[in-house]
Structure 1
Amino acid sequence: MSNTYKDLQNSHPCYGGHKNHAGRIHLPVSPGCNIGCRFCDRTINDVEQRPGVSSKLLKPEEALTIIRKALELCPEITVAGIAGPGETLATDYALETFRLIKEHFPQLIKCMSTNGLLLYEKADEIIEVGIDSLTVTVNAVDPEIEAKLNRFVIYHGERYEGVEGATILIENQLRGIKKIADAGITIKVNTVLVPKINGEHIESIAKTVSELGASIYNIIPLIPQYELKDCKEPLCAEIDAARTRASKYIDVFRHCQRCRADAIGIPGEKDFGDQIYQRRISVKNTFSHG
């Protein structure tokens, strides 16, 4: 049986609001993606501090070596997570890695992030490998709004654009969330807040995912880049108002560090990524979506 939401509040840095001083390691084993978010800029570098960025890509077997090194440096690590730098379910590498973690590091909490396009059809595999915590990025539950945030999806080898692609994505996200939640796995939902596009839609997202079984909601302010580089970054008042509206339906997470896809250590306290990956430059703060 997976850890419950209450269990994770004591052992997972995201769910405990970083008050539990738990550590985590993100394993960058997922290279590609299957949707076209208008605000996403995935890259390999040593500098930026945001999701979608890592110093290198790992093979599943290499991830075990990295975990061993990380635990020596930071025994507080309780969570092994995979959040990119691409989409975790677009290839088999993430689930292969979690199978190896289940065998070699059974004490670690297994945490995965996904855009949810393949969530419903991969749900049985997710349950089978023993994922404890699943994050799904849901930026809209209305296809017209989603199409303004996402250009296309690649689904079973076919490209679907605009509202058609958005409809497929949302349907699979919501069906997948329900199936995973019904299996007892704790679900966090992320939404990238773009005030002029989904700002008035946050309450609908929160209500919908809560009814499907999600436990916690993370509203992340847009950093203007890529196709949405001309959009204004949300003001603090806009972020707070969105979180307040969402909190009528679901617990709201307010301490997101928007970690790299290869982050290692205790969020906000210690980071050992430079030592593990021998990064050339210390990481700077250029936050983006999570």
Structure 2
Amino acid sequence: MKDCMSDDMKRKISEHPCYSPEAQHKFGRLHLAVAPSCNIQCNYCDRKFDCVNESRPGVTSEVLSPQEALERTTRILEQNPYISVIGIAGPGDPLDNDETFETFRLIREKFPEITLCISTNGLLLPDRFDELLESNVETLTVTMNAFDPEIQKEIISMVYYGGKKYEGREAAELLIQKQLEGIEKAVEAGMTVKINTVLIPGINDKHIVDLAKKMNELGVYIMNVMPLINQAAFADIVPPTDQERKVIQDACAPYVKQMRHCRQCRSDAYGLIGKDLSVEKQPRKKEFKPITISKNDEKN
């Protein structure tokens, strides 16, 4: 694949701790938990927001308003100037929450040089893509676990889209269609795209190399094969060993660059990767209940 990346984007990648293994030791990231609503239900996902003792995706000690997110950003950047990336990764799906875009607007106005990043399941990526461009988001992560609907239907139990609930193969086909369409649009627009893929033994482990080949065709920059955290409907599945994951990463590497230093961060993580300061320094200010149904579809 021809390298059409601008010098400015190459510099930003070199300073992005998730996209560059060298950057993880020098540059930090700040996740802003402003997006509680989610529009799909993955069988490995158990989103307990008010849980400071767990360190995994989908967990935060509080959900922030956009203004609170700006205040937190201002405070943390003053104390930790090595942070180069501001990201929104939940605890739900950022694109299912209007607060995501208001937060980006506030951050961009005050910190125009910071790199903005988002992590999404991709269902609404084509629908809200223009808003991402307007927000100057340059690095994008899409969680994609399969492009075969027969496999995907085993990983998700439902999808909410356009005021309708989808299940089974229909849900899987819809999600895959939107993910592929959104990834293609992002690459064509010059965004740097990362794919997160949860390695689920017995379900998608034999499919991941084919997924890597597909991502190569689309021009994805980097792929992060993450080990299953066995919980929720997948509580009885034994997670892959480090060696099992490495074998798959090595098999995928000829097709897509592999991220091997992921620590499966919380939705409110900040600091260097592997040295999350959020649990230690962020006090819990308010109580709230988990939201598992899309706010946008719940209204319909």
Q: TM-score, normalised by structure 2?
A: 0.89
Distance 2:278 2:200 in 1: 32
- Please identify, of 191-200 and 259-268, the stretch whose mean Cα deviation from structure 2 is larger: 259-268
Q: What code does the residue aligned with 1:130 have? A: N
1:23 is aligned to 28
1:144 aligned counterpart, secondary structure: helix
Deviation at 1:158, TM superposition (A): 0.3
1:106 is aligned to 112
8 Å contact kept, 2:59–2:91: yes
Deviation at 1:75, TM superposition (A): 1.0
Deviation at 1:274, TM superposition (A): 2.6
8 Å contact kept, 1:143–1:167: yes
1:61 is aligned to 67
1:25 aligned counterpart, secondary structure: strand
2:15 is aligned to 11
**Identical amino acids, percent of aligned pairs:** 45
Task: Go from structure 1 to structure 2 and tell me whether the alpha carbon gap of 1:93 and 1:270 turns closer, same or farther (over 3 Å shift).
Answer: closer
Q: Indicate whether 1:148 and 2:154 are aligned.
A: yes
Distance 2:212 2:175 in 1: 17
8 Å contact kept, 1:139–1:146: yes
Task: Go from structure 1 to structure 2 and tell me whether the alpha carbon gap of 1:4 and 1:40 turns closer, same or farther (over 3 Å shift).
Answer: farther
8 Å contact kept, 1:117–1:173: yes
CA RMSD of aligned residues (A): 1.7
2:210 is aligned to 204
1:215 is aligned to 221
Alpha-carbon displacement from aligned partner over 1:85-135 (angstroms, at most 9, x marks no partner)? 011011211111111111111121101000000111111111111001100
Distance 1:55 1:223 in 2: 19
Alignment of 1:204-243 (within 5 A): 204-243=210-249
Q: How many residues align?
A: 279
Structure 2: unaligned runs, 5 residues or longer = 286-300
Distance 1:88 1:190 in 2: 15
1:249 is aligned to 255
8 Å contact kept, 2:159–2:171: yes
Deviation at 1:192, TM superposition (A): 0.3
1:133 is aligned to 139
2:296 is aligned to none
8 Å contact kept, 2:95–2:120: yes
1:173 is aligned to 179
Distance 1:163 1:4 in 2: 42
2:176 aligned counterpart, secondary structure: helix
1:29 aligned counterpart, secondary structure: coil
Deviation at 1:19, TM superposition (A): 4.3
1:41 is aligned to 46
1:254 aligned counterpart, secondary structure: coil
1:61 aligned counterpart, secondary structure: helix
